[in-house]
């Protein structure tokens, strides 16, 4: 077993135009003052990192790591969630997802995909240069618009979709393998990898690639009414990253998992600050510790009610209080007896 590392914080939702949230050093000092020990860096945020330079220059990577260390922090992982999303985009979502890419590739699906693939590969090399072994991202989606089987899906559609998704990701996964870094897909609505079954279909298509791993975020499973505890039993060997994000599901006679096109505030399922939702984090931390998870517990703040700064302050303590320092001895050692083969045979009634 391992003691889970943390608390860490994903900086994406906290970046802004006002200090201390508008540049690397000040936001890191803010996080450290709250008790966080690491930051997960969104690589599309150029005020925090120059991803291309971090991939191409070990000197830059060392300097970046040094700046963060001077604030009393480490880097838990880099994130290419937005770029990973663009590895596979159905044309129906082109206009909505163009905001994730530079303007010069807007309206050009092929160029945008190539840009996204290159960005994620920069993420692999940058992670290696920073001494990281896990990387957070999304899978993208070609099939999401068909998640409900009406109209009826043509025969072979799902298989063809996952074949194409795997084709796009295999070169990326192979490059991550060269860099010694795991790709941690956040299983998430809107991605083709949105639950355990879809992850397994993808895994089969990439020949069970050893780098096709998971970012475990139970909040997305609460909204799907999926058993997020048993999920750990199924996939613990592949879980290499962990988002501590709470959620709640309050079904009514008017709406359920699909949400009725309502705002986050008015959905039956909605994300909450850690400790304010329904997720059993005590069992989650116990399960992950039991299975030897040796990564970070990273707070991700997404709440439609609580102020983010309050959520961050409370989230740091919440994670600290849930991390289990693993025992170095068995609780019944005091009653143990010496190892004696002959004595064991006598107990078993064998000669």
pLDDT, residue 340, reads 86
Q: Is the pLDDT of residue 201 over 90?
A: yes
Residue 264 in tokens:
């986050």
Residue 333 banded pLDDT, cuts 50, 70, 90:
confident
The pTM (predicted TM-score) of the whole model is 0.96
Q: Give per-residue pLDDT as tens, 224-277.
A: 999 999 999 999 999 999 999 999 999 999 999 999 999 999 999 999 999 999
Burial group, residue 105, by CB count within 10 angstroms (0-12, 13-18, 19+)? middle
Buried b (16+ CB within 10 A) or exposed e, 67-78: ebeebebbbbbb
Pick the CATH number of 5-348 from 3.50.50.60, 3.20.20.150, 3.30.390.30, 3.30.1300.10: 3.20.20.150
- Mean of pLDDT over the chain: 97
pLDDT, residue 154, reads 97
Q: Give per-residue pLDDT as tens, 102-117.
A: 999 999 999 999 999 9
Other beta carbons within 10 Å of 250: 11
Domain residue spans of the chain: 5-348
pLDDT, residue 346, reads 87
pLDDT, residue 269, reads 98
Pairing of strands 182-186, 246-249: unpaired
Q: Is the pLDDT of residue 330 over 90?
A: no
Average pLDDT over residues 190-195: 98
pLDDT, residue 338, reads 81
- What distance in Å separates the CA atoms of residue 139 and residue 169, rounded to the nearest whole number? 8
Q: Is the pLDDT of residue 347 over 90?
A: no
**Residue that is written with structure tokens 């993420």 in the block:** 123
Residue 96 banded pLDDT, cuts 50, 70, 90:
very high
pLDDT, residue 186, reads 98
Average pLDDT over residues 149-170: 98
Average pLDDT over residues 187-196: 98
Residue 329 banded pLDDT, cuts 50, 70, 90:
confident
pLDDT, residue 37, reads 98
């Amino acid at each position: 077993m391992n003691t889970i590392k943390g608390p860490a914080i994903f900086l994406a939702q906290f970046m802004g135009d006002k200090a201390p949230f508008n540049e690397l050093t000040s936001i890191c000092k803010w996080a450290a003052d709250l008790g966080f020990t690491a930051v997960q860096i969104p690589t599309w945020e150029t005020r925090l990192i120059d991803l291309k330079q971090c991939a191409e220059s070990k000197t830059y990577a060392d300097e970046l790591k040094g700046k963060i260390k001077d604030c009393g922090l480490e880097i838990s992982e880099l994130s290419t969630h937005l770029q990973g999303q663009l590895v596979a985009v159905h044309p129906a979502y082109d206009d909505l997802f163009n905001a994730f890419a530079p303007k010069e590739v807007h309206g050009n699906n092929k160029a945008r995909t190539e840009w996204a693939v290159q960005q994620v590969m920069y993420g692999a090399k940058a992670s290696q240069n920073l001494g990281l072994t896990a990387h957070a991202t999304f899978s993208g989606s070609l099939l999401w618009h068909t998640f409900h089987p009406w109209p009826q899906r043509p025969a072979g559609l799902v298989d063809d979709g996952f074949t194409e998704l795997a084709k796009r990701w295999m070169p990326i996964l192979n490059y991550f393998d060269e860099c010694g870094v795991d790709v941690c897909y956040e299983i998430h609505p809107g991605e083709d990898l949105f639950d355990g079954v879809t992850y397994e279909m993808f895994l089969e298509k990439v020949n069970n690639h050893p780098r096709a791993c998971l970012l475990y975020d139970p909040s997305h499973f609460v909204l799907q009414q999926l058993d997020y505890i048993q999920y750990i039993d199924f996939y613990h060997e592949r879980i290499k990253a962990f988002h501590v994000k709470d959620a709640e599901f309050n079904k009514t006679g008017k709406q359920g998992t699909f949400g009725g096109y309502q705002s986050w505030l008015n959905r039956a399922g909605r994300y909450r600050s850690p400790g304010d939702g329904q997720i059993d984090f005590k069992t989650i931390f116990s399960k992950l510790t039991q299975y030897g998870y040796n990564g970070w517990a990273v707070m991700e703040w997404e709440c439609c009610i609580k102020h983010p700064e309050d959520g961050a302050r409370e989230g740091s303590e919440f994670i600290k209080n849930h991390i289990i320092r693993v025992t170095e001895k068995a609780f019944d050692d005091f009653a143990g007896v010496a190892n004696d083969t002959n004595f064991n045979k006598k107990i078993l009634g064998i000669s």
